[in-house]
Structure 1
Amino acid sequence: MAMYKFFCLCLFAVAANADLTAKVPQQVHISLVGSEHMRVSWITEDSDAPSLVEYGTSSRQYTSSATGESTSYSYFLYKSGKIHHTVIGPLVANTVYYYRCGGIGAEYNFKTPPSNFPISFAIVGDPGQTNYTKSTLEHVKKMEHDVFLLPGDLSYADTNQPLWDTFGELVEPLASRRPWMITEGNHEIETIPIIMNHAFRAYNARWRMPYEQSGSSSNLYYSFDIAGVHVLMLGSYINFVKDSEQYKWLQGDLERVDRGRTQWVIALLHAPWYNTNTAHQGEGEEMRKAMEELLYAAHVDLVFAGHVHAYERFTRVYDNKADACGPIHITIGDGGNREGLASKFKTPKSELSLFREASYGHGELQIFNATHAYWSWHRNQDDEPVISDSIWVESLSSSTNCSCTSQQVSVSMGHANSINGQCRAL
C-alpha cells in the first residue's frame, strides 16, 4: 500500500509539473505601440494560460498589470501554441521596466526608447537562424541600441512551422529587451500552390505590429513615430500599385508627416529598389515605379532593404539618377540566412553605388539630433564587429541642398507641394 501511494504521488507530481511547464512563457518579444505603450508577445503550450503581463520599474515589484488577447493557427498537421499579445502602458520614456508574462516563469526587462534625440537603431535583414545569425545577434547585443528594425525574412521557416518556434527561442534574449519592429519578406509568404493559399499566416499570428495606429488595414505595412523619427514599414509582397490599399495608405500617411515634429523619415522594405548585385535583379522595380515618387516628394531620408544577401550603400538617388533630394538606399540583407551570401556584383560598378561587400553583418543608425545622423555597417564574421562602411547623414528637412519652406508636405498630387510654398532642390 505504501508503495502504491508513493507511485500515485509521483504520478501526481509529474502531471503537476507538466501542467506548470505548459504554462511557462516561451519566445517572448516586444514591439512598440504608439509612444507610450509596448506590446508583449509570447507563446504557451497551455491553451488556458492567461494573457497577463505584470510590470513595474523595480525587479519583482509589479505595480501594474494588463490582460491582452490570444490567438493560434494550424498549418497542415502543425498546431501552434497559444500566442499571447498584451499591450502595457502608459510607460515612461527611457526607463527600465521589469515584467512577467502569464503570472509565472522568469522575469524579463526592457528599456523604453527615449522621447527625444539621440536615438539609436539596430538594423538587420534576413537573419534566419544559422551560426552567422548567432554572431550577428551577439554583436547587436553589445550595441546600445533603442529599437531593432528588420526589413523581412525572419525565420526562413518556409512552411516548416517548428522553425518559427526555434527562431522565437533564438531571438528572445534580444527581442524581449528591446522592441523589434519588422516588415515581411518573401520567406514569410509560405503558400503552397494549389494546396494552400494562406499567405503570411504564421507571420501575422506571431509578429503583431501596430498597424491600426497608423491607419493601415494590414499587418504587412504600417508606420510609427519614435523620438523625432517617422518610420515607414512597407510591404514588398502585398499590392502596391497606385490604386491599391497600400499605396493609398502611404499617400495619406506621408501627407500627415510633420517635419517640425519628426525631422527624420526612414523607410524599410524587403526587395531593394536599387541593386547592383546579380542576385534578385529587378525584383523591386515595379514597387519602385509605383511608390518612389511618393517617398521622393516627402523627402524620405533613408530607405533600407533586405532580400539580397550582401551589403550595399547608394548615393542619394531618384529615378535612377543621383539627386540631392532623394533618399540614400541601403541594402542590408546580410544578417545570417541559410542560403549564403550573394557574392557576385555587376561590373562595371555603377556610379550610384558607393560601397558594396558580400559579408555578413549588421547596421547601426545613430540619430544625434534633428539635423545629423551617423550610419555604420559592421562586418561581423570576424571575432569582433568591424566597421567597414560609415557615413554622416544630414536630414533632408534641414539640408542646404534640399529644403522645404513648410513643416508639413502634401504629396496628394504625387509631387512636393507645401502649404505655404514649394519643397524643392535649391
Structure 2
Amino acid sequence: MATPEPSQRPARNGSRRNPKAANAAALLFTWGSLAMVLVAGLLLLHVFQEDVEPYVGYYILAVSGTAVLFIYLTVALRKERIIPVQGRVPIVIWTCIVLAAGLAGTIIASPKIAAENMATSPRLTWIDGQDPSTSITISWITTFPEATHVLYSTNRWTLDHASTDGPATLFHHVTLSGLAPNQTYYYQVPGHPVKQFKTAPVGQFNYTFYAWSDHRTNTDILSSYTQPNAVASIASYAATTGVPGAFTIFTGDMTSKANDYMSWKAFFDDIAYQDWTSNKSLAIAYGNHERYGDAEKSIVKNYFPYPQKADTNFFYSFDYGGVHFIMLDPYLEGHSWASNFTTTQLAWLEADLAAHQDANFTLIFMHPPPSSLTGVRGELIKLVNVGGYRIDMAFCGHQHVFERRTIASTPPIDVLVLGLGGNPNNEYKSNACDTAFARFDVTTTAITVTSIFINGTILDSFTIAA
C-alpha cells in the first residue's frame, strides 16, 4: 500500500487547520496578552510607585508590551502556525510564559526607571552664610525640565510674592530673601500643596534641633523596607514630647552609592515624612557614599544647593540663635575617602572661625569622626591651641556606633559619634532597637546633647557650658 504524499496526509484531528482562523486566534491571544500586561503593570506600578509621574509607567509598559508582541509574532506565528515548537506547547501555555516574562521585566525595571525619573517634595535648607532669620532656600526635583517658581506669603490664602528659578531644569533651587524674622511663611511650588516654614528670631534665644547620620538607605534599597525611618521616629518623638525642633541636621551617607537612584528616591521619600523637611530646614554634610560612582560629584551638586568650592568639596556655615554651625567635607579632591582638609577647605575654615568669634558656641558637623583622622584632628588642635579659636564639639557618623570621644586640644573638643541613623550594620543590631538620633537643647548659657534610641531609651546625655 502506497504511503500518501505529505501534502495528502490527513490531520490528526481528521481535518486541516484553517490559516485565517489560526492567524485570527493568534492575534486575539497576542493583543489579549498585551492588554493583560498593561493592566497588571499599571496595577503594580500604582502599588509600588504610586507617586511617580504616569509617563514613566507607560514607557515601561510600552517596552514590555512590544517585547511580548515581538516574541509572539516571531515565534508563535512563524509559518502561519499558532502552535509553536513543533506543536508540543499549546498556545495558552506559551502566552502565559511570555506574559510572565513581560510582567517580571515590568516589576524589576519599573522601580529603577521610576527612581531615575523621580519627582520630589520641596525641602528647605540654608546655604553658606545665609541668615535663617531673613532667608531660606527651597529645593525640589521635577520629572520634566521646567522653568518654574515659588509663590509665598505670610497669608496662606494669598500667595502674592514670587521667586523664579531660571532656565528650564529638573533640579530646582530657589532662595527667598528679605523675609521678616520670627515669622511664619506659606509657600507653594507647582504641582505640590502649600507648605510652610518659620524664620528664626533675631539674636539669642532658646531652641531645640535634632541630628542623625547614616540613614537606612546607606546600605541598599532593601534596608528601606527592613529598617526604621529615623525621620519618622524623630517626628514621632517631637510630637510626643511637644518639642518640634527648629530644624534638623544630617551628617552623610544618604545612599548606598551616588548612582543608586532607588536609594536616593527612598531617602527623599523618607525625609518628606509628614512634610518634615518641607516645613523646616535640613542642613546636610556629605558622606563618602554620596561620592561612590560619581567622581565629579555631579549628582549631589544637582540634588542640593550647596555651592561646590574650588577643591570640588562642599562646606558651608550659618548662624542660628547664638550658635555658629560649620558643615565640613574633609575629603581629598577627586577621592571618596576622608583623610585631611584640602588647603582650600582649611583656609576657609580658619577664616570662618575668625569671622565668628563672638558666637556663644561653635559646633562642627561632618561625616567621618575627626578623632579618627590624624590630619583633621591635628589641624583642629592647631586651630584651637595656636589660633585661639573656640570649637565646642563635633557631631559625626560614618562609624556605625555610639561613642563619646575627646580631641585633646586646650580646651578639649567633645566628639559625638552617632552613626545609628537606620543602617543595619551597627554595633546594636542584636538589640531590640538599633536606630538613634541626637537632640540638642540650646540656651544662651549651655547646650545639652542627648542621644536617644527611637524607642525613647536615652543612650547618653552631656552638657556644654558657654
Deviation of 1:201 (Å)? 2.0
- Structure 2 counterpart of 1:147: 247
CA contact (8 A) 1:156 1:188 kept: yes
Equivalent AA in structure 2 for residue 87 of structure 1: T
Equivalent AA in structure 2 for residue 156 of structure 1: S
Deviation of 1:41 (Å)? 0.5
List per-residue Cα deviations over 1:129-160 (Å, max 9, x = no partner).
33576442123114221121111111334421
Change (3 A) 1:333 1:52: same
- Structure 2 counterpart of 1:342: 427
List per-residue Cα deviations over 1:327-385 (Å, max 9, x = no partner).
21101111112x521359xxxxxxxxxxxxx942000111111x2121111111x3xx2
CA contact (8 A) 2:440 2:450 kept: yes
CA contact (8 A) 1:24 1:105 kept: no
Distance 1:374 1:165 in 2: 34
1:167 counterpart SS class: helix
Distance 2:227 2:384 in 1: 31
Deviation of 1:106 (Å)? 1.4
Distance 1:149 1:365 in 2: 11
CA contact (8 A) 1:267 1:302 kept: yes
Determine if the alignment matches structure 1 residue 266 to structure 2 residue 347. no
List per-residue Cα deviations over 1:208-254 (Å, max 9, x = no partner).
22678xxx875611111122111111112235757711111111111
Determine if the alignment matches structure 1 residue 41 to structure 2 residue 139. yes
Distance 1:157 1:243 in 2: 23
Deviation of 1:389 (Å)? 1.3
1:46 counterpart SS class: strand
- Structure 2 counterpart of 1:32: 126
Equivalent AA in structure 2 for residue 365 of structure 1: F
Deviation of 1:299 (Å)? 1.5
CA contact (8 A) 2:258 2:299 kept: no
Identical columns (%) = 21
For 1:217-256, what aligned pairs fall within 5 Å after superposition?
A: 220-238=314-332, 244-256=343-355
Change (3 A) 1:100 1:242: closer
User: Residue 200 of structure 2 is aligned with which of 105, 113, 131?
Assistant: 113
Change (3 A) 1:236 1:133: farther
Change (3 A) 1:24 1:190: closer
Distance 1:309 1:376 in 2: 17
Deviation of 1:46 (Å)? 1.8
Equivalent AA in structure 2 for residue 94 of structure 1: N
1:176 counterpart SS class: helix
User: Residue 189 of structure 1 is aligned with which of 291, 309, 314?
Assistant: 291
Distance 2:209 2:421 in 1: 15
List per-residue Cα deviations over 1:190-221 (Å, max 9, x = no partner).
23xxxxx6342211210222678xxx875611
Report how many residues are paired: 327
Equivalent AA in structure 2 for residue 307 of structure 1: H
Distance 1:332 1:158 in 2: 22
- Structure 1 counterpart of 2:459: 388
Distance 2:167 2:226 in 1: 33
Change (3 A) 1:341 1:42: same
1:298 counterpart SS class: coil
Distance 2:153 2:341 in 1: 46
For 1:127-206, what aligned pairs fall within 5 Å after superposition?
A: 127-129=215-217, 130=224, 134-141=228-235, 142-143=237-238, 144-172=244-272, 173-191=275-293, 198-206=295-303
Unaligned stretches of 5+ residues in structure 1: 1-16, 73-81, 192-196, 275-281, 345-357, 396-426
Structure (1 or 2) with the greater strand fraction: 1
Change (3 A) 1:298 1:268: same
CA contact (8 A) 1:299 1:326 kept: no
Q: TM-score, normalised by structure 2?
A: 0.64
Determine if the alignment matches structure 1 residue 368 to structure 2 residue 443. yes
Return the structure number with greater relative CO, CA threshold 8 A, min gap 6.
1
User: Residue 404 of structure 2 is aligned with which of 299, 304, 313?
Assistant: 313
Equivalent AA in structure 1 for residue 198 of structure 2: K
Deviation of 1:69 (Å)? 4.1
- Structure 2 counterpart of 1:378: 452
For 1:407-426, what aligned pairs fall within 5 Å after superposition?
A: none
Unaligned stretches of 5+ residues in structure 2: 1-52, 58-113, 218-223, 239-243, 334-338
Change (3 A) 1:286 1:174: same
Larger radius of gyration: 2
Deviation of 1:185 (Å)? 0.5
Deviation of 1:18 (Å)? 5.7
Equivalent AA in structure 1 for residue 448 of structure 2: Y
Distance 1:133 1:112 in 2: 33
Change (3 A) 1:301 1:106: same
- Structure 1 counterpart of 2:375: 286
Equivalent AA in structure 2 for residue 64 of structure 1: H
2:461 counterpart SS class: strand
Change (3 A) 1:135 1:162: closer
Change (3 A) 1:157 1:94: farther
Report the aligned-residue RMSD.
3.0
1:330 counterpart SS class: strand
1:202 counterpart SS class: helix
Deviation of 1:28 (Å)? 1.7
Distance 1:217 1:310 in 2: 30
Q: TM-score, normalised by structure 1?
A: 0.69
2:279 counterpart SS class: coil
Structure (1 or 2) with the greater helix fraction: 2
Deviation of 1:68 (Å)? 2.2
Equivalent AA in structure 2 for residue 318 of structure 1: A
Deviation of 1:303 (Å)? 0.6
Distance 2:284 2:186 in 1: 23
